[in-house]
Amino acid sequence: MSTLEPVPTPAETPTAAEPVDLGRADLYLNRHISLLAFNERVLAQARDPAVPLLERLKFLCITSSNLDEFFETRVAGLKELQAYGAWQVDVDNRSPAETLRLVTAKAHELVADQYRVLNEELLPALAREQIHLVSPARWTKAQRAWIQRYFDEEVAPLLSPIGLDPAHPFPRILNKSLNFILSLEGKDAFGRNSALAVLQAPRVLPRVIPLPAELVSKGHCFVLLSEVIQTHAGDLFPGMQVKGFYPFRLTRNSEMFVDEEDVDDLLRAMEGELSSRRYGDEVRLEVARECPPEKVELLLKQFELEQPDVYSVDGPVNLSRLMALIDQVERPDLKYPPFTPGVPRELIGASGSGMGNLFDAIRKGDVLLHQPFQSFTPVVEFLRQASQDPNVLAIRMTLYRTGADSAIVDLLRQAAIRGKEVTVVVELRARFDEEANISLATRLQEAGAHVVYGVVGYKTHAKLTWVIRREGRDLRNYVHLGTGNYHARTARQYTDFGLLTCDPGIAEDVHHVFLQLTSLGRVPRLHSLLQSPFSLCQGLLERIAREIEHHRLGRPAAIRFKVNGVTDREIIQGLYQASQAGVPIDLIVRGMCCLRPGVPGVSETIRVRSIVGRFLEHPRVYYFENGGQPEVYCASADVMERNLHRRIEVAFPVKDPALRQRVVEEALDYYLRDNTQSWLLQEDGSYVRAQPGEQAPFSAQSALLKALASEAPISLG
């Protein structure tokens, strides 16, 4: 099918005979089902023969990891609402119980598809490339001997099997840990004849074990830890027979609850809550397909789960652990080709080698960075120069996710040790990064930095750095604003925009945002930025209404968004109204989308597409045609209730005309042309993959790699 279908002109758009109730439930798609549909699109990458084979396996692992988080947070939340008897409904007017039934059925289909892809497509394809997961039945004599020694020396000393009897109750099972339930026969040294035992695989052990090269005739061979333990389980129960050995895995609620109104120290409260995450309420049970029904029932009873919560799988109970195989196979021909991120020419030093003085470069004009096609190194270098420059007096920064070993945190520490005023807003509640953020907050405090945790009740999700530098008799403000986190590793995997600027209006607004985060006071009027929870939602609605008015008056009008999710009912209704007025609207939405495109009389001029490719699409870009004078904002916020109303977010304008045009081309035009990795949302909520047809194949991500990253002019060290 064509990638770009013609948008109806105002004359072609039918006019509704009567006003449409835009709050009608049937005009909205279910957000949880929409998120599972995103994972289906990721799984499609694992099936795509055009994707390198080991990258296909990686996409399969990603779907498994995504599904873990889906159960830990979203399914867990639905179960809580159902348990409390809540009647809270979603935008599609479904109750938690109704949504849970839908989600469970869809998740079972997705899990079955995952294992079909593994067993019927990926494992045979890997075997053809001499990459084998070797089952015990195919172990050679020499391999068996090596595996026996490995079990005796590396595995057995770490195992603690527990026989179930009145003195040994069922052990507490860690969230997402690999466990086994065993059927035993016979008596032990004390005359006990317990028929059941439970064994947990220590998390320090690798789940995928490479066999030594001398034991492999060709290529690479791996064995699974679960099968190593199963083969030698009898060694753990001398004098008894193991009649059954069945892997299982439990997923628990991993949301953390801290009553911020009732704690004096958020960091200590979060530290206390982290330990309980491992033992949250049970939400899912994964078991090996061969596990007998009576054992499944026993586990269900133990964990207070029901039959729909059981996922019987034909393979390893944790597919995401297969990611270790990818890292251990040196086959460049089976992976994406490497690339060197580019560096904007204006940042290159006069010698042509290395980066020059970034403050000088920024004073000459704003600098736009588009990761991963362009390097994240200039952001790190900006902090490095700020930390070392004697003229820099203060650094302010927000940190949401940085990674456990962050160069940026080290540079902030150095700046504080050198006596600069360093203030860091650390978001302790960044989901699944809480422990890392607690650690970095402690390290920063030890170096003398001021560390605060934002505003009670609102996550600080904005990506801001503010540097104050003395230049002559004046103080000048330099700012970095981004759509993604200050995380060097994800900057190689996620697409994001960053802006380096010393624009006085933007810098003054950033100053006011930091005052909100660190102090008290009324909401200031921002002149350049849009900020949630105050002005961002209203600012978007006002600009949508302005496009309607431009269109009514015959001026150029159009709306284009590139975001990760669209779920906010108020913004969706605004877009519906714009479509009813005839405004052309293109939405590039990576994940959840509750808006239903193509509904007669409601959304006929709205087109929605999702791009799934080598890199995770992450930037938020808001474009308004504005009567021929386009406005473009980049932002940390999606079109979601939490971003617009329950977080501190920032949308920043791209003022420089050349950079604004770059954002339009690189974030919007390229992706609207994509006909190889683009999925088009249909009115019924399904997605159809775009096909080139008679057009030349075009991949936005590949084109951006070629344009921005192919030949970096300098070595960044």
- Dihedral of CA atoms 412, 414, 417, 418 in degrees, nearest 10, equals -110
Whether the bond into 372 is cis, omega within 30 of 0: yes
Say what the pLDDT of residue 678 is. 97
Number of domains the chain contains: 3
22 and 576 Cβ atoms separated by less than 8 Å: yes
Pairing of strands 474-482, 494-501: antiparallel
Residue ranges of the chain whose pLDDT lies below 50: 1-16, 190, 256-277, 351, 430, 711-717
What SS3 class is residue 63?
helix
Same domain, 195 and 329: yes
Say what the pLDDT of residue 705 is. 96
Same domain, 305 and 438: no
Same domain, 487 and 565: no
Same domain, 511 and 542: no
Query: Where residue 605 sits, what CATH number does that domain have?
Result: 3.30.870.10
Say what the pLDDT of residue 166 is. 54
The structure tokens listed for 223 are 């064995």
Query: If we measure between CA atoms, which residue out of 341, 484, 480, 485 comes closest to residue 403?
Result: 485
Same domain, 703 and 673: yes
Same domain, 353 and 484: yes
CA distance 437 to 398: 12
Residue 54 lies in a domain: no
Same domain, 314 and 350: no
Same domain, 592 and 667: yes
Say what the pLDDT of residue 260 is. 41
32, 232, 461, 480: which one is catalytic? 461
Q: Which residues, in sequence order, are bridge partners of residue 311?
A: 286
Query: Where residue 298 sits, what CATH number does that domain have?
Result: 3.30.1840.10
Same domain, 449 and 548: no
Say what the pLDDT of residue 455 is. 82
Whether the bond into 533 is cis, omega within 30 of 0: yes
Please give the model's pTM, rounded to 2 decimal places. 0.91
Q: 546: domain range?
A: 25-29+530-709
| Angle between helical axes of 536-552 and 569-580 (0-180°, round to 10) | 10
Q: Work out the burial of residue 306: count CB atoms within 10 Å of its CB; fewer than 13 is exposed, 13-18 middle, 19 or more buried.
A: exposed
To the query of whether residue 461 is one of the catalytic residues in this protein, the response is yes
Say what the pLDDT of residue 279 is. 56
